[in-house]
Amino acid sequence: MIDYPGPDPSLLSGTIAIATATLAFLVYLFTTGSERFGRGIRRKYSDRAAAVRRILFQRVLGAVVFGLIPFLIMIFVFRRPMAQYGFSGDNLMKSFLWWMPIAGVVIILSYIGARSEKNLAMYPQIRVSDWNVGLLVVSALSWVTYLIGYEFLFRGYLLFSCLESFGYWPAIIINISLYSLFHIHKGSREAIGSIFFGFLLCYITLHLGSFWFAIFIHVTMALSNEWFSLGFQPEMNLIKNARKK
């Protein structure tokens, strides 16, 4: 008979973090991807308004699910300061200095990749023909809100919890494995790309001791891709006053 080891309390933090990340993603995916969710919005709003509100609601829900659930676990279960999970202002300026040169590379790559057919089939996520400045701003703010929650989950709560429980390299491998798996529904291009991008974010986050850089660079990638994709979309236009249809 195999003598299995008993429960190890030192592994509890990382184990709960993995389970939390998985549960949060499943809740988000099955809620936003359900046909019932789409029908409810289409019944209530016009086609254009429904297309906008569906994506905005997805991003707000993601921010709540990915950010609020880990936050509540940290505060009420483990009762630890947020700085222990990379949420600290100590390295904010250093994160900004790291972001500046890498952001330039990300913007160039976004410009190159934005014109591809596969990218234009998915982005911009809000599929309306007429964009105005108001929609650009609202979409950008929703991206920022979503990605703060997203990075708080992955490069904050999950990464630092696994670092505590399993060590440096296991924490990175677990993080990029889940991060890549969570992108499978977006296709092989994003799933494979997220391996390299996830490694970069994990490595720099652990080096800096905070996930500010991850937020900065992820927001840069999302917004530059959205704006470049909008420019390359033949059926989308930026106008001063888009009339609701």
Looking at residue 240, its pLDDT comes to 63
Q: How confident is the model at residue 237 (pLDDT cuts 50, 70, 90)?
A: confident
Q: What average pLDDT score do residues 150-156 get?
A: 95
Give me the helices (H) in 126-211, please. Answer: 133-151, 159-166, 168-181, 188-208
pLDDT value of position 84: 86
Name residues whose C-beta falls within 8 Å of residue 192's C-beta, 6 or more positions apart in sequence: 180
The pLDDT of residue 244 is above 50: no
Residues making up the chain, counted from first to last? 245
Query: Amino acid identity, residue 218?
Result: H
Which tens digits make up the pLDDT trace of 17-26? 999 999 999 9
Asked if the model's pLDDT at residue 243 lies above 80, the reply is: no
Q: Residue 115: is its pLDDT beyond 70?
A: yes
CA-based nearest residue to 41, from 33, 50, 31, 32: 50
The pLDDT, as a whole number, for residue 127 is 93
Binned at pLDDT 50, 70 and 90, residue 66 comes out as very high
Burial 188-213 (b: 16+ CB within 10 A, else e): eebbeebeebbbebbebbbebebbbb
Q: What was the pLDDT predicted at 212?
A: 95
Copy the structure tokens of residue 190: 């994003």
- What is the residue-wise DSSP string for 112-147? HHHTSHHHHTT-SSS--SEE-HHHHHHHHHHHHHHH
- The closest alpha carbon to 196, from 94, 106, 62, 70, belongs to 106
Q: Which SS3 state, helix, strand or coil, does residue 237 take?
A: strand
